[in-house]
A and B are shown apart, each in its own frame.
Chain A
Amino acid sequence: MTAMSDSMSESMSAPPATTPGPKPRPEPSRSTPTRQPRPEPVAKAKAKSKSKPEPSAPVPASMSMAQALNAALRDALREDERVLVFGEDVGPLGGVFRVTDGLTREFGEERCFDTPLAESGIVGLAVGMAMGGFRPVVEMQFDAFAYPAFEQIVSHVAKTRNRTRGLLSLPMVIRIPFAGGIGGVEHHCDSSEAYYAHTPGLKVVTPATVEDAYWLLRDAIADPDPVIFMEPKRLYWAKEEFTPGERRAPGFGRAAVRRAGGDATLVAYGPGVPVALQAAEAAAAEGRSLEVVDLRTIVPFDDESVMASVRRTGRCVVVQEAQGFAGVGAEIAARVQERCFHSLAAPVLRVTGFDIPYPPPKLEHAHLPDVDRILDAVDRLQFDDRPDVLHLSGGAAS
């Protein structure tokens, strides 16, 4: 297993062939009994139901998400000598995803260094250094390999400010490449955001665009509180025209409307955002106008922007790649129905991964929420005033 993981990690420094680009063409297809026939682009793709999305045609791009993260680290290291970067293989190698590429060369071993292999140690070391006036930015190599650090994160990172009545704060960032869609073998594709979001005292961030990768990481490093910075692995190679310069990104803690629409709101974050945008594109082809809200920060949660959108559209689907039960999407759905009940024309639905351990690479396409699964949910939003048959039984199907 070790050799396998290692070779896998290595191969991840370059985009896998199946990595979707930022905005793949909408090629949704499903067959649902209640559906009206779709216009041309949909029908064309029918035979490819449940297949992996096609890579988009190359777009002229100036920066990938991994490069934007690298630029954010570089600029933070340059501007604030308290900032330090450390973790496993982040030094001369530049990280298995190359996010720390060149930092040791430019800033030296004192500012960007490899630690012994122990994640609790990495986070605990960062806690001590933050107590001592530094601003550590540490890398967990993969989502599932952050679990050894869980005790440090929950019992110290999250609680130190509170335990000391604000006398000790821990301005630190824990970067975690997370989620799937890259053909990773087991223990490399977990969606672990709910564990952190459930923990009071942690801010939880996940960028969906190259611009946000840069600015949210800068915000996270400058933040007075500890931030869990979750990087959607499958978007590392997604490119955008972007040069760090004048800031246009919304403030930390604010959601962004990525696409305006009037018929329903898709709420998504991180790896779910491009999928939601593809779904909105496909829905538009069917004459349905979907708004896509990108949370950007799961904590703090921007109730205001989400509720404003849902009150306008009257319908809401929450999209998350993670397994659904007790997930972030469940929280969002509950908040929306609590706050927007009288504006809702249909129950809030969730589109999520299944409640299964992350599947092996050849089966992940069956698990991952895709355009079809989102459009199916949108179909169930009672646009024709028919009740949602799927949920009428009231319990698990027997």
Chain B
Amino acid sequence: MSHRQVADGLLPEPVPVRFVAEDGTAAPPAGYQGDHPAGYGAPADDLLVEAYRHMVLGRRFDRQATALTKQGRLAVYPSSRGQEACQIAGVLALRADDWLFPTYRDCVALVARGLDPVEVLTLLRGDWHCGYDPAATRVAPQCTPLATQTIHAVGMAEALRRRGEDAVAMAFVGDGGTSEGDFHEALNYAAVLRSPVVFFVQNNKYAISVPLARQSAAPALAYKGVGYGIRSEQVDGNDLVAVLSVLTEAVRHAREGGGPFLVEAHTYRIESHTNADDATRYRDAGEVARWEAADPLARLETYLRGRGLLDTAGVEAAHEAAEEYAARVRDRMNAEPETDPFELFDHVFAAPTPQLREQRALLAAELSAPEE
């Protein structure tokens, strides 16, 4: 095979893979409800309905977290509204024994994975950093230093492979994160080692204020895979069916020894970067409105109704469950968290050094000193 043929086998589709059009009908030109012409299989119907419920719940959770931030219960919250198809498909494509390496943006995915929402929000509430048990959940701590988690995912994938587990690792990363060196080192390592890892880029068009055009001149971010020898795909990130289909194939490819897989999902960050950001300074309302019209949740609902997989009762049940969930999150988050300043010294090392013991005693003296 010529280099050109090898490259052709790795390149993404020229236009993002799409199963469902923006209006919720089966995507043209073929109007297919079965497999995508590029070979991506249609997800099972009941999985799509499950995904719908997760999306409703995820969006409600996101709104609740934003509200808690406005009330001062969270220090900060990066919303993923508009990215629910990615958040949910990313998780549903994985087995419970696969590892997930999320970013700060991915709380909704973690909730969908079944993590305790209060433990997920610990970081943003600020009573500790990571609030859940990564080993038990197989979810790495949400990562803030951009793209650094992508290479951890490769290391984990190598560890899983060497232990003889057929589990994979999936790293979430943003469009901005693909400019970081670690992203490229991770792709290169994964390709050379043929690690069972999936890189999932949520291209939400902005890195804080910086638009995609200032981030990369690649035809699409998915093209970054070919130079490393990684099979890559781009997908309509607001089409749950498409994202789930492509990610499922990516995971299968990695699990069955095909090596790493890169998926770029084209989506959009509807809210500001975080509650502390003001997106009106760098993008106009018209652009946001256009993406609101391409809402992934409405699209999936229309599609499922059109195929007779969902009815009004099903929609209402999903929303009721989401309301109950949000109410429980709100109630639990309204309780002031317990913090212990002495715990600050407990996890620096397996056992505190003599110096940390001294500093702990110093803090104890400070805290027990009478108020002046």
Assembled-state Cα–Cα distance A240/B234 (Å): 60
Counting contact residues on chain A (CB < 8 A from B), the size range is: 35 or more
A141 on the interface (CB 8 Å rule)?
Answer: no
Question: Chain B residue with minimal CB distance to A226?
Answer: B349
Q: Are B185 and A121 in contact, with the CB atoms below 8 A?
A: yes
Q: Are A120 and B135 in contact, with the CB atoms below 8 A?
A: no
Assembled-state Cα–Cα distance A162/B148 (Å): 17
B343 on the interface (CB 8 Å rule)?
Answer: yes
Q: Are A129 and B151 in contact, with the CB atoms below 8 A?
A: no
Q: List, in ascending order, chain B residues with CB within 8 A of A364's CB.
A: none
B353 on the interface (CB 8 Å rule)?
Answer: yes
Give B183-222 interface residues, CB cut-off 8 Å to A: 185-186, 188-189, 192
Assembled-state Cα–Cα distance A122/B355 (Å): 31
A116 on the interface (CB 8 Å rule)?
Answer: yes
Question: Chain B residue with minimal CB distance to A171?
Answer: B350
B130 on the interface (CB 8 Å rule)?
Answer: yes
Contact A165:B153 (CB < 8 A) given known A125-B158, A131-B134: no
Q: Are B140 and A125 in contact, with the CB atoms below 8 A?
A: no
A161 on the interface (CB 8 Å rule)?
Answer: yes
B182 on the interface (CB 8 Å rule)?
Answer: yes
> Most A CB atoms within 10 A — which of B148, B150, B169?
B148
Assembled-state Cα–Cα distance A139/B153 (Å): 20
Q: Are B152 and A300 in contact, with the CB atoms below 8 A?
A: no
In the complex, the number of residue pairs spanning A and B with C-beta atoms less than 8 Å apart equals 137
Q: Are A129 and B156 in contact, with the CB atoms below 8 A?
A: yes
A152 on the interface (CB 8 Å rule)?
Answer: yes
Q: Are A131 and B156 in contact, with the CB atoms below 8 A?
A: yes
Q: Are B158 and A128 in contact, with the CB atoms below 8 A?
A: yes
Give A146-172 interface residues, CB cut-off 8 Å to B: 148, 151-152, 155-156, 159-169
Q: List, in ascending order, chain A residues with CB within 8 A of B354's CB.
A: 300, 303-304
Provide the A280-307 mask, 1 if CB < 8 A to any CB of B, else 0: 0000000000000000000111011000
Task: Please tell me which stretch of B74-82, B159-167, B235-243 contacts chain A, meaning at least 4 of its Cβ atoms lie within 8 angstroms of it.
Answer: B159-167
Q: List, in ascending order, chain B residues with CB within 8 A of A131's CB.
A: 134, 140, 152, 155-156, 159
Nearest chain B CB to A72's CB is how many angstroms away? Answer: 21
Contact A128:B159 (CB < 8 A) given known A163-B141, A165-B343, A200-B348: yes
Contact A161:B152 (CB < 8 A) given known A115-B189, A131-B159: no
Q: Are B348 and A121 in contact, with the CB atoms below 8 A?
A: no
Q: Are A165 and B159 in contact, with the CB atoms below 8 A?
A: no
Contact A128:B152 (CB < 8 A) given known A110-B162, A118-B188: yes
Assembled-state Cα–Cα distance A130/B155 (Å): 8
B347 on the interface (CB 8 Å rule)?
Answer: yes
Q: Are A132 and B346 in contact, with the CB atoms below 8 A?
A: no
A201 on the interface (CB 8 Å rule)?
Answer: yes
A134 on the interface (CB 8 Å rule)?
Answer: yes
Q: List, in ascending order, chain A residues with CB within 8 A of B189's CB.
A: 115-116, 118, 121, 125
Q: Are B129 and A162 in contact, with the CB atoms below 8 A?
A: yes
Q: List, in ascending order, chain A residues with CB within 8 A of B136's CB.
A: 167
Nearest chain B CB to A135's CB is how many angstroms away? Answer: 11
Q: Are B158 and A132 in contact, with the CB atoms below 8 A?
A: yes
A41 on the interface (CB 8 Å rule)?
Answer: no
Q: Are B151 and A121 in contact, with the CB atoms below 8 A?
A: yes
Q: List, in ascending order, chain B residues with CB within 8 A of A161's CB.
A: 347-350
Nearest chain A CB to B163's CB is how many angstroms away? Answer: 7
Q: Are B350 and A169 in contact, with the CB atoms below 8 A?
A: yes
Provide the A81-103 mask, 1 if CB < 8 A to any CB of B, else 0: 00000000000000000000000
Question: Chain B residue with minimal CB distance to A155?
Answer: B145
Q: Are B347 and A124 in contact, with the CB atoms below 8 A?
A: no
Q: List, in ascending order, chain B residues with CB within 8 A of A121's CB.
A: 151, 182, 185-186, 188-189
Selected from B133, B156, B192, the residue in CB contact (under 8 A) with A128 is B156
Question: Chain B residue with minimal CB distance to A114?
Answer: B192
B110 on the interface (CB 8 Å rule)?
Answer: no
Provide the B143-181 mask, 1 if CB < 8 A to any CB of A, else 0: 001001011111111111011000001000000000001
Q: Are A225 and B349 in contact, with the CB atoms below 8 A?
A: yes
Assembled-state Cα–Cα distance A299/B348 (Å): 12
Assembled-state Cα–Cα distance A248/B286 (Å): 74
A133 on the interface (CB 8 Å rule)?
Answer: yes
Nearest chain A CB to B184's CB is how many angstroms away? Answer: 8
Nearest chain A CB to B46's CB is how many angstroms away? Answer: 33
A126 on the interface (CB 8 Å rule)?
Answer: yes
Q: Are A160 and B141 in contact, with the CB atoms below 8 A?
A: yes
Q: List, in ascending order, chain B residues with CB within 8 A of A148's CB.
A: 181
Q: List, in ascending order, chain B residues with CB within 8 A of A152's CB.
A: 148, 151, 182
Assembled-state Cα–Cα distance A125/B190 (Å): 10
Assembled-state Cα–Cα distance A225/B356 (Å): 15
Question: Chain B residue with minimal CB distance to A119?
Answer: B185
B128 on the interface (CB 8 Å rule)?
Answer: yes
Q: Are B349 and A128 in contact, with the CB atoms below 8 A?
A: no
Q: Are B182 and A124 in contact, with the CB atoms below 8 A?
A: yes
Q: List, in ascending order, chain A residues with CB within 8 A of B346's CB.
A: 165-166
Q: Are A167 and B185 in contact, with the CB atoms below 8 A?
A: no
Contact A116:B188 (CB < 8 A) given known A110-B162, A162-B348, A167-B134: yes
Contact A118:B140 (CB < 8 A) given known A125-B155, A167-B134, A304-B354: no
Q: Are A124 and B133 in contact, with the CB atoms below 8 A?
A: no
Selected from B163, B169, B350, the residue in CB contact (under 8 A) with A133 is B163
Nearest chain A CB to B119's CB is how many angstroms away? Answer: 11
Q: List, in ascending order, chain A residues with CB within 8 A of B148's CB.
A: 120, 124, 151-152, 155-156
Q: Are A116 and B348 in contact, with the CB atoms below 8 A?
A: no
Q: Are A116 and B129 in contact, with the CB atoms below 8 A?
A: no
Question: Chain B residue with minimal CB distance to A156?
Answer: B148
A203 on the interface (CB 8 Å rule)?
Answer: yes
Assembled-state Cα–Cα distance A168/B131 (Å): 12
A371 on the interface (CB 8 Å rule)?
Answer: no
Question: Chain A residue with minimal CB distance to B101?
Answer: A128
Assembled-state Cα–Cα distance A316/B129 (Å): 41
Assembled-state Cα–Cα distance A131/B155 (Å): 8
Would you list the 6 A-B pairs with minimal beta carbon distance, nearest first? A128-B155, A132-B159, A124-B151, A121-B185, A128-B152, A163-B129
- Hey, which bits of chain A sit against chain B, CB under 8 A? 110, 115-116, 118, 120-121, 124-134, 148, 151-152, 155-156, 159-169, 200-201, 203, 223-225, 253, 299-301, 303-304
- Hey, which bits of chain B sit against chain A, CB under 8 A? 128-130, 133-136, 140-141, 145, 148, 150-160, 162-163, 169, 181-182, 185-186, 188-189, 192, 343, 346-350, 353-355
User: What are 6 A-B pairs at a CB distance below 8 A?
Assistant: A116-B185, A124-B148, A132-B156, A133-B163, A159-B129, A165-B343
If A124-B155, A128-B158, A159-B129 are given as contacts, then 17 extra A-B residue pairs at C-beta distance below 8 Å, sorted by A number, are A116-B189, A121-B189, A125-B155, A125-B158, A128-B156, A131-B155, A133-B163, A161-B348, A161-B349, A164-B130, A165-B130, A167-B135, A224-B349, A224-B350, A299-B353, A300-B353, A303-B355
